[in-house]
Amino acid sequence: MQAHDVILSPRITEKSMGNALGHQYTFTVHPSATKTQIRHAIEEIFSVNVVNVNTVNVRGKKRTFARKKVRTAGKQPDFKKAIVTLKAGQKIELGGVNYFEQ
């Protein structure tokens, strides 16, 4: 797998923004990616040193929709996220803007 196939997108949430102050960044990754593949992909794409990688498989939530007096059940997709800890003094900037430290 190529580096850009492993890392799908950054997760920009309140919690991930707060963790960025402690040098932890959160990304949505390919469901079959391993911690080693994630580490190498982050180091290759952003040119930083990765200290630790934690992964979480997140199950999609079940939803019920009501349309035209008919109830239908649906489900959001499952995904895998990676919480990456960088070496002290390093940070990640996306597109020239540091989304994680605002």
Q: Whole-prediction pTM value? A: 0.83
* pLDDT at residue number 81: 96
Q: What is the DSSP string of 27-46?
A: EEE-TT--HHHHHHHHHHHH
User: Between β-strands 70-75 and 50-58, what pairing exists: parallel, antiparallel or unpaired?
Assistant: unpaired
Q: Where in the chain are the domains?
A: 3-86
Q: What is the mean pLDDT of residues 77-89?
A: 95
pLDDT 10s digits, 22-79: 889 999 999 999 999 999 999 999 999 999 999 999 999 999 988 888 999 999 999 9
- pLDDT at 94 exceeding the cut of 90: no
- Alpha-carbon gap, residue 80 to 89, rounded angstroms: 27
Q: For residue 56, what are its two tokens?
A: 């979480």
Q: Give the CA distances from residue 41 to residues 51, 60, 85, in Å, rounded to whole numbers and listed in that order.
A: 13, 25, 14
* pLDDT at residue number 54: 97
Q: For residue 9, what are its two tokens?
A: 């997108």
Name the CATH superfamily housing domain 3-86: RRM (RNA recognition motif) domain (3.30.70.330)
